[in-house]
């Protein structure tokens, strides 16, 4: 079963450029993963600090493997210091 995921990431303004760079690196790496069908990064029009990922994964196993990748783990280490709050993760199904 496909997994549809939306992640909301709110950077602290002083770290916005750094966070954007990290997120763009995640896009480059993630799009090479076999289970990744779509991995798109967006930025809110009315809030430069808000980044949104929209993702489609072939399976839960593929998403689980993604979350174990070193570039995802590296992002996780930035959350407490460089984000306003932990990311909001919405896992949904297409209806």
What is the extent of the structural domain holding 59?
Answer: 3-92
Please report which residue ranges of 1-95 form alpha helices under DSSP H.
Answer: 16-30, 60-67, 70-76, 79-82
pLDDT of res. 93: 87
Domain count, the chain: 1
Question: What would the pLDDT profile of 23-55 be if each residue is shown by its tens digit?
Answer: 999 999 999 999 999 999 999 999 999 999 999
pTM for this model (two decimals) = 0.93
Q: Helix-strand-coil percent breakdown of the chain, rounded to 5?
A: 40, 35, 30
CATH number at residue 34: 3.30.70.100
Mean pLDDT of the chain: 96
Q: How far is CA 85 from CA 2, 13, 40, 56, 63, in A?
A: 28, 12, 21, 24, 22
- Beta-carbon contacts of residue 42 (< 8 Å; ≥ 6 apart): 51, 52, 53, 54
């Amino acid at each position: 079963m496909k997994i549809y995921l939306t992640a909301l990431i709110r950077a602290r303004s002083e770290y916005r450029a750094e966070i954007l760079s990290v997120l763009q690196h995640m896009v480059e790496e993630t799009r090479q993963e076999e289970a990744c069908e779509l991995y798109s990064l967006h930025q809110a029009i009315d809030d430069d600090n808000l980044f949104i990922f929209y993702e489609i994964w072939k399976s839960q196993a593929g998403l689980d493997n993604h979350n174990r990748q070193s570039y995802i783990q590296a992002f996780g280490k930035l959350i407490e210091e460089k984000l306003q709050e932990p990311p909001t993760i919405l896992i949904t199904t297409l209806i």
